[in-house]
Structure 1
Amino acid sequence: MIDASPDDGADGRAATTNTQSGAARNVVQARDIHGDVRLDTPPQPRSWAPAAVLGVAVIVGASIIAWPRSSDDPAASAPSELRVVVDMSHNDQGPWGYVSESSDFPGRAIVDRLAEPMAAVDRDLVRDIRTSDGAISLHRHLVRLHLVGPVGGTRITDIRPVVRRTAPPPSGSLVHAQSQGEEESSEVLLSLDDGFPVLRSSEPMPSPAPGEEGRRVPTGPYFPGHTINLAPGETHEIVLTTTARSRSYEYDLTITHQTGTVIRETVVDNNGEPFRVAGRSCRSDHVATYQAAYRLAGGFSVVAEPDPAHIDLSPLLC
């Protein structure tokens, strides 16, 4: 569950120490089961009574230790350490877009598939593009973090981005099925273009323009005003929308969590690779330029742009 804790400590963005990629394997908890059996001595004990009492004690003690937990008890399946599962599959539905530093992206076989009717709404095809070598999300992507509390429980006190690489937006190739209507965003937002990017809470956009209904705008930092307390086996999901306009970014997410008095950090990435997101390659306030570009056409096919070096866009996009 989430607690609103304005008095929590510092924001935790000091230099990362004791960081390891993947799950935090440094946290190990053990749970001991203690049970006492007390039997009154009969007023007139007989020779067989001590053996009977011992037998009952053994049976009761074994029952206490071996009795299985209910399958409905989340603690029964709690991992030994904080578990984080990353889900990027939401990005396989429209609108979607990817750029690359290579003009050959996403490869001839996928380009041929994109030219077929309804290709833009084929989630298997979009997944193949997203997971292709060199793919970088265009402008935004959505990251779902599924958290599972370890044995002993833990408390999430911060989630922050760690930018590993930044560069100008790539101009090699653009593959884009642009929005045809309303585009929603999640409640936790991250803009990597900020000088000091942090996860931010958000609120619905006031008086949204046509086509932007459901959009949200950032407010204050999400941490340390909130914390996430996880009991053993308890789950919680963070839905994060990351955006970039002016640069290209490679980044990880560092989760700070506390078990008892011990503070650990878990570094989360995209299946062993950094998360990647970039803005458009713009040469003016409304013209994007690429070596190759494929964009949404009639029948939900995605076809080659005749002049990829001069793509007219809204000034809001470029």
Structure 2
Amino acid sequence: MVVGDGGGGFVADRATRARRAGWVALAAGAGAWALVKFDVFAGVDHPLVPVLKALSTGVAILGLVVCAAALVVVAKSRRSPGVTEEPGAVGEPGAVGPGNAVSGQVGGSVLQANTINGPVTMSTPLPLWIRLAVAFVVVAVLAVGVLSVVVLTASEEDPDLRAVTTVSFGHCAGGWVVPTPPGQLPIEDRPEGAVQADQGEVLVTLQGSLPAAVVLQSMRAEVVSRKPAATGVRLETPCEADVIPRSFGVDLTRDNPVAFGIPGADGGEKVPAPRFPFQVNESEVEQFVIKPNVSTDEVEWRLRITWTSGTRRGETVVDDNGRPFRTTGTTAVSANYCADLRIPAWTPPGEYCPPLKTPTQAGFTGAWTGSGTLTFTDDGTAVWATGGGEARIRLLSVDRYDRATADVVASTTPDISVGDRLRLNLTYDKASVRGLTQLGAEMLWCRPGVPCQ
């Protein structure tokens, strides 16, 4: 029993302690619930975040349970006979001092004194499970606080993966689409107001920020927006030899496509398509060439690269210096400007720069045989029939070298899939058509009666 001093100091009974425990549990539960409800750690990449969320949920639930139990204890305490104060004398049964007496149920230790002034309260302690639950809630709240500091402090450190990007026009494909200029344009890395054309390139250099290895697990594109292809003129790309190794394609005709490896060549030697995973650290880097494909749209997009480092897992967003990448199809351009490296400048159609061609003007007409049968129609589409089925191909644009970019829009043959990209090239004598898929498969079709070589 706890007794007030001679001045009648405050003495807490069982109901008061229960109320205090209920308020503590309710406040802790509400705070933990707020962490989960408002997702305070959204966007924070740390392995302890799931632990924090689970712990916060547990505290919120337990806090409500303890609060409800405390209310039950308070209600029972008010209904119990309690303790009364009656006059008595020292030495009489139940007496604790002159002018004070105790009646009803008495539990716990009893303190006797010669003289006691003021009220005397006798009560039993709170149930053990409530005291343990309150202690657990308090400890859990302290743990949530400590872990929050650890997580938020770690999230402010340098990322485990750094990325540097460069947007370029590509090689023998791609280019830029710009508003129609009044005349020729000087060749530069990225003209003002230019949108990257289909089959351009995004060069991504990846490096770890710590000595520990960072393993690159996968890469995909996130489509941010889509609208009709940009209008204006196309600035063509000067050609170079060999496809750079470590090339990946992303098919932006689909939503959030996974990047796929493209076979390349190095010094004339074929290089197989790259495959994840890759590994970097602060002294070792990887450089990827990303080739976005888009048909008749202009697409804003970002890259998302997932990685692991020890027990940590994260995702690095790669974009154009804080803005989404922009890539457009070339189906809405009005002219093709040629790259004259002697000036150097992009020049409008004229004596040196032939105008854009339609598939018919280029010679993509009639039926061709070889790798199956390829039949062009007047609307700029083609049907490729093989022994396993057929594919319908849509020609998107033709450059001055009689090369056409084409998409597969329907397919029942295992040789090619819907969404695949083709490069079709008429030979100089227009006697054969060579086709190349992004995955490195080669096809050859020839005029009827002309042997394919």
TM, length-normalised to structure 2:
0.38
Name the structure 2 match of 1:296. Answer: 339
Shift of 1:182: 3.1
5 Å-filtered alignment, 1:187-266, equals 187-193=246-252, 195=254, 197-204=257-264, 222-223=275-276, 226-228=277-279, 230-231=280-281, 233-246=282-295, 247-266=297-316
Aligned with 1:240: secondary structure?
strand
2:244 matches 1:185: yes
Return closer, same or farther for 1:291/1:150 CA change in 2, 3 Å cut-off.
Answer: same
Q: Distance in 1 between matches of 2:222 and 2:228?
A: 18
Deviations 1:82-108 (A, max 9, x none): 2423242765887761014x445xxx6
Alpha-carbon distance in structure 1 between the residues aligned to 2:272 and 2:227: 26
Question: Counterpart in 2 of 1:286?
Answer: none
294 and 251 in structure 1: CA distance in 2 versus 1, 3 angstrom threshold: same
- Counterpart in the other structure of 1:208: none
Task: State how far apart, in whole Å, the 1-side matches of 2:349 and 2:272 are.
Answer: 32
Identity rate, percent:
15
Pick closer, same or farther for the CA change 1:166–1:203 going to 2, 3 Å: same
1:195-238 C-alpha deviation (Å, 9 max, x unpaired): 46322234358xxxxxxx7787858xx34xx242x45x233213
Which of 349, 356, 361 in structure 2 is aligned with 1:311? 356
Deviation at 1:162, TM superposition (A): 0.9
Structure having the higher helix fraction is: 2
Matched residue type, 1:176: E
Structure-2 change in CA distance of 1:152 and 1:237 (3 Å): closer
Q: Find the aligned partners of 1:193 and 1:92 in 2 and give their Cα distance.
A: 16
Structure 1 residue 267 corresponds to structure 2 residue 355 = no
Q: Contact 1:192–1:249 (CA<8 Å) still a contact in 2? A: no
1:261 deviates by 2.9
Distance, in Å, in 1 between the alignment partners of 2:211 and 2:403 is 52
1:169 aligns with 2:229: yes
What per-residue deviation string (whole Å, max 9, x for no partner) do you get for residues 136-181 of structure 1? 23422131222224365533222221111223332222222343x6
Cα distance 1:239–1:277, how it changes in 2: closer, same or farther (>3 A)? same
Residue 175 of structure 2 aligns to a residue in which SS? strand
Q: How do 1:150-161 and structure 2 match up within 5 A?
A: 150=210, 153-161=213-221
Matched, 1:97 2:156: no
Which is bigger in relative contact order (C-alpha 8 A, separation at least 6)? 1
- The 3 A distance-change label for structure 1 pair 202 and 244 is closer
Give the Å deviation of 1:271: 1.0
Query: Take 1:92 and 1:200, find their aligned partners in 2: how far apart are those partners?
Result: 17
Residue number in structure 2 paired with 1:280: 330
Structure 1 unmatched ranges of 5 or more: 1-16, 29-78, 115-124, 206-212, 282-288
SS of the residue 1:170 aligns to: coil
Cα separation, partners in 2 of 1:89 and 1:255, compared to 1, 3 Å: closer
Change (3 A) 1:291 1:263: same
Q: How is 1:29-178 mapped onto 2 (pairs within 5 angstroms)?
A: 80-88=158-166, 91=169, 97-100=175-178, 102-103=179-180, 112-114=184-186, 125-129=187-191, 132-150=192-210, 153-178=213-238
CA 1:290 to 1:92, structure 2 compared with 1: closer, same or farther past 3 Å? Answer: closer
CA separation of 1:245/1:316 partners in 2, compared to 1, >3 Å: closer, same or farther? farther
Gaps of 5+ in 2: 1-40, 49-156, 358-397, 407-453
Contact conserved, 1:80 with 1:151, CA < 8 A, in 2?
no
Provide the alpha-carbon RMSD of the alignment.
Answer: 4.1
Q: Indicate the structure (1 or 2) with the bigger Cα radius of gyration.
A: 2
